[in-house]
Amino acid sequence: MSVNLQTPIDYLKGVGPNRADLLRKELGIHTYQDLINLFPNRYIDRTRYYKTNQLQQSNADVQVIGRITSFKEVAQKRGKRLVATFQDDTGTMELVWFRGHKWIRESLKLNKPYVAFGKTNWFNGKFSMPHPEMESLEEHEKNIRSAMQPVYPSTEKLSNRGISNRVIVKIIQQFFIESKGRFYETLSEPIRKELKLISKSEALFNVHFPKSQELLAKAQFRLKFEELFYIQLQLIIKNRLHKSKIKGLPFESVGHYFNTFFKEHLPFNLTNAQKRVLKEIRSDLGSQAQMNRLLQGDVGSGKTIVAFMSMLMALDNGFQACLMAPTEILSVQHYNGLYELCKPLNINISLLTGSTKTSERKIIHENLENGDLQIIVGTHALLEDKVKFHNLGLAIIDEQHRFGVAQRSKLWHKGPQSPPQSSQREEAKTVRQKYMTARPSTYSLLKDLQVEKKKNTTEAERILWEHLKTKKLGFKFRRQHIIDEFIVDFVCLEKNLIIEVDGGYHNTIEQKEADNLRTKILNEIGFKVIRFTNEQVIGDIDNVLSYIEKALKSLPSGEVGGASAPIPPHILVMTATPIPRTLAMSVYGDLDISVIDELPAGRKPIKTVHRFDKNRLNVFRFVKDEIAKGRQVYIVYPLIQESESMDYKDLMDGYESISRDFPMPDYQISIVHGKMKPEDKDYEMQRFIKGENQIMVATTVIEVGVNVPNASVMIIESAERFGLSQLHQLRGRVGRGAEQSYCILMTGHKLSDDSKTRLQTMVNTSDGFEIAEVDLKLRGPGDIMGTQQSGVLNLKIADIVKDKHILQAARHFAKKTINEDPSLSKDENRVILHTYKQLSKFKNIWNYIS
């Protein structure tokens, strides 16, 4: 194909610098590739031409062939409107414009055949069409014409600046003319044959200009499959690379701690699901690779005991373990539970949060570093630089979607230091050989990417390499060399020095963050990284060489500043929010996933009901009956103080009215919300846990981590305000004891359709995975995962909710392809390897951490 898809959009005929600038800013279209991937939102059927006597009072889009016989200007309150009489052989209608009169009169000719397209209005016994799209019949017949007319995404700014849908259609038509509609194939022939997929060229043409509904459906299926196939391929390859390259700490045995706890202190029998998950974790910890596993289970399914028993495996092998939770309440809850389990085993465990006193903090830091402290539970406080472990072997992260990637990477790098190499040659040899021998197929794949990068060397890189390759600085450098998961520009293995040359695309905030993280990881594994810009190298090569020479002299041979590579701890990330399988395959496709999908025996299902505000007296009567039986009650509000813009119950107003209905001294009420000081919050929580008060009025601060077996009623006020996963989490705060528990969803009468669906779902099922599927349909993947996790779901055409079956097929074929040909070296997979390399050029470093 003669057209390069990376060509800037400015060079396409009919675009030019001004339009190009707008397309970049408004739609993110920088290149031909971006343009071809701007897929239509919808299509308008333009197969039918109406006569004026066939028009209906339906306000639908129609097209009529006719001639303009006259123009007139009609005065109105503000300005004038231009009206044209449009006639065909069956009658007349009016075309109306409220602006642009001069241009319209000059560009439209009387008595020339036109196709008028737009919505019709019926007024005073006559049809009119305001601001129609006008095209001469001659042009209309000449253009690339399809049955279904595409409607593209747009913005107000584009419309105001004259870039209408019609203009975008013309730009894309022009692109097809210049490229002759020929595009490289991106899927292998066996996959295309098995799934009966049309070619890439056919698919792209028919998604923009479909010749029929049937061809449009085939084009969409082909492009959706391809998009999801490459996401899955990247995730599967990433997982393989991770397992083959990142060395794990050796947990060789299950010993005293685990066996004693299992035989003598286990508080209840494990479910079959818990046993299965423990086996999966044990298998990971016993392998030579670092564990990177996601543990998901519904509220109350027993994830904590599985996490604790995993920690005992770390202790049995002489390592420390930590558990990090997103909130102080949750970390205190975990600590209290684990402390009771540790006591009979004489395990030393501590809690570290933001409110830990300085004197206690100092002791914790010392005991962690000298190894006396075996298990630490905490919040973000665990990530502080002062927190150093003696030998961290297992890091457990609870509700991991609440932590940013950079935060999790800090925990990753708190693992024990591997012993430094004594000989510089041995060090260089180790780094060079490690990945060559780990798994030849994955090393081969990286080598292919390395060759590709060498072909695309920049001018600055060429200039620098001319000086480095001659050993002029006294040391041997390698270029485009593989270090860990990175291909670095230049490296001196004798001195562990990496030199990177940053081009123009390193200026964005995201790229700078990625570069910083890349440098940090390379530093952590024992390399010094120095960076230059293209301009520095091209403009002042002597100064650059002088700087490199000084860096080489300042570094000891074989290791950087005496630092040696930390071996990352095994990682177990937990979530109590069940993730639908489709979402898990996309967001966590590179992690190994364990699911606890059964609840402990003896748990009674929570009865959930929906009640309107008018039923409040009956609800309070029921609450008094439960309290009389010795039970406790949660009442949860969405807001702390009244919001003028939202007509919802607020916490303070609710607290006052509940105090009137449940007066002291017969009833004791506590209040907990996020704006309270930690010590006040903890005091109120402890009163409730000890049973000193019967009612806790709270915000969603109690959504996770509160465990009071005696609490049997959860009332959620303004329940329509909450998302499904929040409602499910809140409901999970009751039902923890042997008694029957209840969840009452209180709302007003005005409910949206989505609110009704959410409430009905909560009443109908307590299965977290079923609830998560409904949530995914209602909210979409981006909303559920939040900005931290949604990058991988920035899809161009596929929708993981609606295209679930396509996603499953894509994962199946991606797995099959890699299993049969790990290095994608077979002839039939050449197109897949080429496409994968192209995609890998734009891969962001953030996705290497969890």
CATH code at position 507:
3.40.960.10
The residue out of 146, 162, 191 marking a domain boundary is 146
- Is 614 in the same domain as 731? yes
Predicted confidence (pLDDT) per residue in 352-392, tens digit = 998 889 999 999 999 998 889 999 999 888 888 889 898 89
- Inside any domain, residue 844: no
Predicted confidence (pLDDT) per residue in 390-411, tens digit = 889 999 988 755 555 555 566 6
CATH code at position 132:
2.40.50.140
255-293: b (≥16 Cβ within 10 Å) or e: eebbeebeeeeeeeebbebbebbbebbbebbbeeebbbb
- Is 133 in the same domain as 274? no
Residue 842, C-beta contacts closer than 8 angstroms, at least 6 positions apart? none
Cβ-contact 655, 669 below 8 angstroms: yes
The Cβ of residue 77 has, within 10 Å, a number of other Cβ atoms equal to: 4
Domain with 636 in it: 607-765
Greater model confidence, 799 or 609: 609
What tokens does 835 get? 């496409």
Closest CA to 558 of 428, 432, 446, 444: 428
Strand, coil or helix: 450? helix
Q: What pLDDT is stored for residue 787 in this prediction?
A: 35
What tokens does 729 get? 């989490």
What tokens does 659 get? 């105090």
- Inside any domain, residue 192: no
Range 286-290 average pLDDT: 83
- What is the distance of C-alpha 263 from the center of its chain? 41
With cut-offs at 50, 70 and 90, classify the pLDDT of residue 243: confident
CATH code at position 647:
3.40.50.300
Cβ-contact 350, 367 below 8 angstroms: yes
- Inside any domain, residue 484: yes
With cut-offs at 50, 70 and 90, classify the pLDDT of residue 221: very high
Alpha-carbon gap, residue 761 to 753, rounded angstroms: 12
Q: Does an H or E element contain 103, and which?
A: helix 101-107
Alpha-carbon gap, residue 549 to 468, rounded angstroms: 11
- Inside any domain, residue 178: no
Alpha-carbon gap, residue 478 to 462, rounded angstroms: 13
DSSP class of residue 721? G
- Is 452 in the same domain as 468? yes
- Is 615 in the same domain as 712? yes
> Using alpha carbons only, how large is the chain's radius of gyration in Å?
33
Residue 61, C-beta contacts closer than 8 angstroms, at least 6 positions apart? 44, 117, 118, 119
Range 99-113 average pLDDT: 89
- Inside any domain, residue 226: no
Alpha-carbon gap, residue 802 to 335, rounded angstroms: 41
Q: Scan for tokens 């670092």, then name that residue.
A: 290
Q: What phi, psi does 25 have (nearest 5°)? A: -70, -40
Q: Does an H or E element contain 308, and which?
A: helix 303-316
Q: Does an H or E element contain 238, and which?
A: helix 213-245
Cβ-contact 554, 377 below 8 angstroms: no
- Is 435 in the same domain as 500? yes
The pLDDT of residue 582 is above 90: no
Strand, coil or helix: 144? coil
- Inside any domain, residue 662: yes
Q: What pLDDT is stored for residue 848 in this prediction?
A: 33
Going 240 to 242 to 245 to 247, the CA torsion angle's sign is negative
- Is 468 in the same domain as 545? yes
Greater model confidence, 473 or 206: 206
- Is 400 in the same domain as 462? no
Strand, coil or helix: 92? strand
- Inside any domain, residue 97: yes
The pLDDT of residue 632 is above 60: yes
Closest CA to 318 of 256, 263, 266, 264: 256
- Is 73 in the same domain as 111? yes
Number of domains forming the structure of the chain: 4
Cβ-contact 678, 685 below 8 angstroms: no
The residue out of 739, 765, 791 marking a domain boundary is 765
Closest CA to 23 of 34, 33, 13: 34
Number of helices and strands in the chain (H, E): 31, 26
- Is 403 in the same domain as 312? yes
With cut-offs at 50, 70 and 90, classify the pLDDT of residue 650: confident
- Is 406 in the same domain as 470? no
Q: Does an H or E element contain 33, and which?
A: helix 32-36
Cβ-contact 435, 488 below 8 angstroms: no
Beta pairing partners, 693: none
Q: Scan for tokens 């949860």, then name that residue.
A: 636
With cut-offs at 50, 70 and 90, classify the pLDDT of residue 533: confident
What tokens does 647 get? 């007509």
The residue out of 711, 732, 765 marking a domain boundary is 765
- Inside any domain, residue 107: yes
Q: Are strands 121-123 and 126-130 parallel, antiparallel or unpaired?
A: antiparallel
Q: What pLDDT is stored for residue 649 in this prediction?
A: 57
What tokens does 804 get? 């679930």
- Is 480 in the same domain as 350? no
Q: What pLDDT is stored for residue 679 in this prediction?
A: 80
Greater model confidence, 617 or 406: 617
- Is 367 in the same domain as 432? no
Greater model confidence, 700 or 832: 832
- What is the distance of C-alpha 750 from the center of its chain? 33
